[in-house]
Amino acid sequence: MLSRTADHLFWMARYMERAENTARMLDVNYQTSLLPQSADAAEQGWKGLLGISELTDDYAARYGAVTPRSVMEYMVSDPNNGSSIRSCLMAARENARAVRGTLTTEVWETQNQTWLEFQRMVSDGAFLRDPGTAFEWVKFRSHLSRGVTVGTMLQDEAFHFLRIGSFLERADNTARLLDVKFHAVPTEFFGRPDGMDMGMSMPGTASQSQGEEPAEGRDVEYDFYHWSAILRSVSAFEVYRKVYRNVIRPEKVAELLILRPDMPRSLAACIQEVLSNLTMVANGQSSETLRRAGRLRADLQYGRIDEILATGLHAYLTQFLERVGTIGVGISRDFLVPVEA
């Protein structure tokens, strides 16, 4: 396969996945904002959403104060924001158009119709009238795109590059979501059974041994909505209740979204998909990239959540994002960049 073709397929899938992930985060944040909460808590929620995509500085330079309407406009329809849903859907469609002959008719028509329908919804103001329904539509179109790809495309190199793009993007997003959301509430900490802190208290806050209020004294209702919002953003709320069958605990949320290979959007599941598809397209110069992906998969496969929390979740996720970034660079070098003669 030509590297240019592989590049378009890889990024078509990544942009479609990114559009869905953005819609998921916006939808959960919008639904959470409807709950009774202080103005400061609501603002922190919107700031956290910008932080997940590393867009805080760009937003501040162009929009100034953080307001729900401005953030929604910036993340949904702003053409100058490369991570907005509009930009992602347009990029996915343009990449699909460039390799239209490689895709089945159904895959191309799905991408093209999604972009045309999105333009109509933005011009009609559908996202402002009913954001929840509009975000569900974006998620549905992403599901449809993946389903049509799996259901109609020959499982050759083109198919594998689409899958690599999708799951590499999903792994990156899940890690960013966890990193930001687990640091969103300053009073949150993870305790061992003996009550000792496991290193998850936020910088600048007092530890439990210095007089921090115990977990039982916190706002239990707020905790429930905070953690359930994280689970719902990755369609994991029902999965959590099925797997753990008890109250929502932060360490269990982390375990589900990091180490469970049977959770579709977990880091373990995503890296397993990246590795298996990368193995199918491996060539003579991709051995190092394949080794890095295999090492990361092994670390997730044999990792334990208590060990991760003991060393610090933020440090672990930061390192994970760096490793995923390195794998992405390796894929670009090995497959997507034209080889010099």
| Predicted local confidence at residue 175, as pLDDT | 93
pLDDT higher than 60, residue 211: no
| Predicted local confidence at residue 338, as pLDDT | 52
pLDDT tens digits for range 184-194:
654 344 444 33
Tell me what the mean pLDDT of segment 192-203 comes to: 35
Residues 6+ apart with CB under 8 A from 34: none
| Predicted local confidence at residue 214, as pLDDT | 41
On the CB side of 36, CA atoms within 13 Å amount to 2
pLDDT higher than 50, residue 341: no
Mean predicted lDDT score pLDDT of the chain: 85
3-class DSSP state of 197: strand
| Predicted local confidence at residue 36, as pLDDT | 73
Closest C-alpha among 188, 301, 205, 180 to residue 251:
188
- The CA–CA distances, whole Å, from 9 to 102, 153, 185, 288, 336 equal 9, 13, 39, 22, 10
Which amino acid would we find at residue 229? A
Which amino acid would we find at residue 141? R
Percent of the chain with pLDDT over 90: 62
For the record, the structure tokens of 133 come out as: 């329904």
Q: Are 49 and 173 in contact (CB under 8 A)?
A: no
pLDDT higher than 50, residue 279: yes
| Predicted local confidence at residue 217, as pLDDT | 43
Closest C-alpha among 72, 76, 62 to residue 29:
72
pLDDT tens digits for range 52-82:
888 989 999 999 888 888 999 999 999 999 9
Band the pLDDT of 123: cuts 50, 70, 90. Answer: very high
pLDDT tens digits for range 292-317:
999 999 999 999 999 999 989 999 99
Q: How many residues does the chain have?
A: 341
| Predicted local confidence at residue 255, as pLDDT | 95
Give the C-alpha separation, 45 to 31, whole Å: 11
Q: Are 22 and 75 in contact (CB under 8 A)?
A: yes
